[in-house]
A and B are shown apart, each in its own frame.
Chain A
Amino acid sequence: MPHTGDEMTCRELVGLITDYVEGTLPAADRRRFDQHLEMCEYCANYVEQMRATIMALGELPEETISARVRDELLDAFRGWKSS
């Protein structure tokens, strides 16, 4: 479809996606973003993939300190309290 002035382009949408998901996009741009998304399956794919990416980042296995270091810290806390 030809580009007619106020319509958001795919390139613009991709550039604004973080502002969109962060909720910092001005209302007018947010409307243009939503309108574009409704008619463009490719951009819908992009947004969906970005959400999947963010979810995957949040699910990476995490590490923490060992029990030995934890015990040493609790010892340090007892020493700190009595100092």
Chain B
Amino acid sequence: VEGLAQSQVELLEALRAGDEAAFARIVDELSPGLMRLARVYVSTDGAAEEVVQETWIGVLNGLDRFEGRSTLKTWIFRILVNVAKTRGVRDTRSVPFSSLDVTAGEDRALDPDRFFGDHTRSPGQWAIAPAPWPEDAVWEADAMRLVRDTVDGLPPAQREVITLRDMVGCSAAETCSALNLTEANQRVLLHRARAKVRAALERAFDDRGPA
């Protein structure tokens, strides 16, 4: 972590000193992840690219005031979320975001009927157990498309978290900081989102019959 903090200080100094190569490096490193997250809020790749561009302009405008209370990376992702949500208000095709508790309500990760009920002989055991998947099936193009489409169809708060954690590769702490979530809520959203993607794959593989 000390090395990370050190490299962050050096990067900040380089950017503030006008080191263009340092700026190009961080743009190249973070833009794919920023594009991914932007697509959660806007409905086209073109609009996502505009959000990312506006984010980097916001980074330049704020760089001299950045105090280092979060990492540079999470600060940049927070700017993107602000830019994208502001734009979302204007973009009628974008998904409305609720300020309500993102983990509220009944949203089971897995159908409760998959397990025997409490008043049976095997309470809590699998009633419909997961069968093994055909080997390497998740890597096939159809499966990968299904994974992407399932993520696209998740409730926005779940989609934000699974995008940052599993697609962009942010840590739990970075994700909480970028999305302003508690650790517990972040975990609940991740749990539900991953379970739904797994369930979508299971349905697809089961429909194909035994391997």
Contact = CB atoms under 8 A, between A and B. Distances in A.
Among A45, A49, A57, chain B packs the most CB atoms within 10 A around the CB of A57
A69 B53 contact: yes
A72 B23 contact: no
Contacts of B115: 9-11
B187 A81 contact: no
B125 interface: yes
B52 interface: yes
Contacts of B144: 56, 59-60
For the complex, would chain A's binding face be called helix, strand, loop or mixed by DSSP majority?
Answer: helix
B44 to A, nearest CB: 12
B24 interface: yes
Interface residues of B, number: 54
Interface string A63-83: 111100110111011101110
A64 B31 contact: yes
A74 B169 CA distance: 26
B82 to A, nearest CB: 18
A63 B148 CA distance: 13
Contacts, number: 137
Contact of B191 (A18, A42, A43, A49): A18
Contacts of B129: 10, 42, 45
Contacts of B202: 49
Q: Which 5 pairs of residues, A with B, have the shortest CB-CB distance? A: A9-B124, A81-B18, A42-B129, A18-B191, A57-B166
30 contacts: A11-B125, A14-B110, A14-B195, A22-B172, A45-B131, A45-B132, A45-B133, A49-B201, A49-B202, A50-B194, A53-B138, A53-B194, A53-B197, A56-B138, A57-B151, A62-B32, A63-B36, A63-B45, A65-B27, A65-B49, A69-B49, A69-B52, A70-B27, A73-B53, A73-B56, A73-B57, A77-B23, A77-B60, A78-B20, A82-B18
Interface of B: 18, 20, 23-24, 27-28, 31-33, 35-36, 45, 49, 52-53, 56-57, 60, 109-110, 115, 121-126, 129-133, 138-139, 143-144, 147-148, 151, 162, 166-167, 169, 172, 183, 187, 190-191, 194-195, 197-198, 201-202
Given A49-B133, A56-B143, A69-B49, 10 more contacts: A3-B125, A11-B115, A18-B187, A18-B194, A45-B129, A53-B194, A63-B45, A65-B49, A66-B49, A70-B24
